[in-house]
Amino acid sequence: MKHFITGVLAFVAMAAICRFTVDARADAVAPKADQTTPQEPHWQLFLDNHVLERSMGFRRMLHHPQPRGIVLPADKPWETHGVSPMYVGWRKDGRMECYYRVHWWKRGLAQGSGMAYAISHDGLVWEKPVLNQVEGPTGVHRTSTFPYRTSVDSGKNNNLILCSQLMDLGRYGNVSDPAKRFAINFEGPDPWGSYHLYFGSEPPDPLLDPNWREKFTSSGGWKPGPYNTLDYWDDLNQEWVGMRQSPNHPPARAVARYASHNLRDWKMQPVLYPDAEDSSDPRFFDEIYGIRAIHTEGLVLGYAYWFIGDQTHAKTRINKGPAGQLVMKGPLDVRIVVSRDGGLSWDRTVSREAWIPHGSEEDSYDRQVRLDAPPIRGGDEDWFYGAAVDGDHASSSPYYGDRMPQIQGVLYTQKHNRYVSLTAGNAPQILITKPIKVTGRTLQLNVDASHGEVRVGIGVDKIFRQGSWPFVATLPNFMPMARDGKAHFEKGFHFENCEPIHNNSIEQSVTFEKDGLESLQGQTVRLFFKVQDADLYGFRFK
């Protein structure tokens, strides 16, 4: 095989999926353990227009996380191809833990893979403890030809662990049953090359508990293939869901929704394709490569891996006859997509540009980027662990004559829930929500008004007749005040009753002259945000 895929083992993953045919390390402050719980009230984020009635005068701004560089290097004999973080969480002893997939080259251009375990005090420097659980390579053989290094020999002196995946379904999977908060996969002789799926109330401790597997109970089902994950429970359609690349391509790659009501009978449905607004330039041909989906803040948020293929590179095109051609060479970036119907349809309002862009040079450490691990909360930040490759997809000896690109574990950090803001300039603008029910005693904002000001008003829609016009209208008619000077706000909740906000905070409480929102409990209202020189990321009642 002359042109072999590097990057993120796409063909290995798709080989497993296709068997399923049913229907620069950087200085940073170490994160603090997340003290919130999955039961926290949902935020209304401005990732789409779901809650917006009027946003004229605002710009929707995509905010890019800060790259922290390579933090989990591929430096072991069982990591000759690379490492891909899949889960990062907190141990009981206060340290962080990472379950990451390892990939290695064997002689004869074959590939091996498994799951490994690492621990860290600060999330930047990771220790790979010896677990003595799984056979793996113990040495590296270097050559002058592709792939330049192969893993050799075998032993258990490694950090490989007996599972294929760990998922926190309580935090990011819409699961409320504490006995099913964590899901883990073990290899088994199920249909379609699938893995047994087990549930548990807490993550395993492979360091201190040799019997950790006994704390997990069989679900009676499986997930389709070793590279698919069980992403979330869809309560709208009453089924378990995993989102991954569809095997049904070309003419263009697509993402499919794998769903089952009982974890045994699975169906696959392609749901996310490139569209007419994506580039069809042969040099920069847009395709969605894959996705990591999490259920958070009452919606499904997808970290979509976008592939920018080079169709002009003849050696990396695979002809599929009437179906078209499969493009192999190009970089990957990460974009944000949103679903509010359980992953059946996706809003790409904010995904037309990269949220995490790829490196500009072919040997950039982040030429390909993808996120498979849900974020871990550290204080007021979200930490995103991903996999990056220092070369194009499908890169092999024809492109890099003296090296084989490698997958490394990387980190990005961002203020919590600050993917997108609605931003107003120096002229005050008024944002109006759709009707929303008051479900808490306090209104909180995720806001940066450190250089400006934000005030909030609250109103209830009313039917009125104005002047001699032969019609009635519903307030607010998209404005906070009618022509006759009548305000649409409830008494005590005018702009002037709101203490002005000048802070930068992910949980800024709004203060009115009245005490709290008790008088509005259970009512359906509209929120009016008066914003000047500030970024508004979202709001919630608490």
Same domain, 77 and 161: yes
Same domain, 367 and 437: no
Give pLDDT, residue 399: 64
Give pLDDT, residue 216: 93
What are the DSSP calls for 427-490, one per residue?
S-EEEEEPPEE--SS-EEEEEE-TTSEEEEEEE---EEE-TT-SSEEETTTTSSB-TTS-B-BP
Answer yes or no: is 33 within a domain.
Answer: no
- Structural domain containing residue 495: 426-541
Q: 3-state secondary structure string, 19-64?
A: CCCCCCCCCCCCCCCCCCCCCCCCCEECCCCCCEEECCCCEEEECC
Answer yes or no: is 32 within a domain.
Answer: no
Hey, is 165 helix, strand or coil? strand
Same domain, 248 and 146: yes
d(CA 222, CA 263) in angstroms, rounded, equals 6
- Output DSSP code: residue 155: B
Answer yes or no: is 1 within a domain.
Answer: no
Same domain, 260 and 216: yes
Q: Does residue 64 have a pLDDT over 80?
A: yes
| Residue corresponding to tokens 């933090």 | 71
Same domain, 525 and 444: yes
- Output DSSP code: residue 442: -
Q: Does residue 396 have a pLDDT over 60?
A: no
Last-in-domain residue among 399, 417, 435: 417
Averaged over 234-241, what is the pLDDT?
A: 96
d(CA 289, CA 310) in angstroms, rounded, equals 14
Averaged over 237-246, what is the pLDDT?
A: 94
Answer yes or no: is 2 within a domain.
Answer: no
**Structural domain count of the chain:** 2
Q: What CATH number does the domain containing 192 carry?
A: 2.115.10
Mean pLDDT score of the chain? 86
Answer yes or no: is 217 within a domain.
Answer: yes
Q: Does residue 276 have a pLDDT over 80?
A: yes
| Residue corresponding to tokens 């999955």 | 38
Smallest CA-to-CA distance from 504 within 421, 436, 401, 437 is with 421
Smallest CA-to-CA distance from 96 within 426, 308, 370, 383 is with 383
d(CA 496, CA 484) in angstroms, rounded, equals 19
Same domain, 356 and 483: no
Same domain, 333 and 398: yes
| Residue corresponding to tokens 């073990």 | 186
- Output DSSP code: residue 318: E
Last-in-domain residue among 417, 449, 473: 417
Averaged over 111-138, what is the pLDDT?
A: 95
Give pLDDT, residue 7: 38
Last-in-domain residue among 393, 417, 441: 417
Query: pTM for this one?
Result: 0.90
Same domain, 499 and 375: no
C-alpha distances (whole Å) from 539 to each of 217, 438, 446 are: 38, 12, 6
- If you count them, how many residues does the chain have? 542
Q: What is the pLDDT of residues 170-211, one digit of tens each?
A: 999 999 999 999 999 876 544 445 678 999 999 999 999 988
Q: What is the pLDDT of residues 445-495, one digit of tens each?
A: 999 999 999 999 999 887 766 667 777 777 666 666 666 666 678 999 999
The pair of structure tokens assigned to 120 is: 């860290």
Answer yes or no: is 143 within a domain.
Answer: yes
Q: What is the pLDDT of residues 489-518, one digit of tens each?
A: 899 999 999 999 999 999 999 999 977 899
Answer yes or no: is 3 within a domain.
Answer: no
Q: What is the pLDDT of residues 297-353, one digit of tens each?
A: 999 999 999 999 888 877 766 776 666 677 788 999 999 999 999 999 999 999 889
Answer yes or no: is 29 within a domain.
Answer: no
Same domain, 352 and 493: no
The pair of structure tokens assigned to 524 is: 């359906």
Smallest CA-to-CA distance from 70 within 291, 333, 334, 389 is with 389
Averaged over 151-172, what is the pLDDT?
A: 92
Same domain, 404 and 453: no
Residue 402 — pLDDT band, cuts 50, 70, 90?
confident
Same domain, 229 and 108: yes
Averaged over 277-303, what is the pLDDT?
A: 92
Same domain, 369 and 489: no
C-alpha distances (whole Å) from 130 to each of 80, 151, 210, 305, 324 are: 18, 18, 13, 33, 48
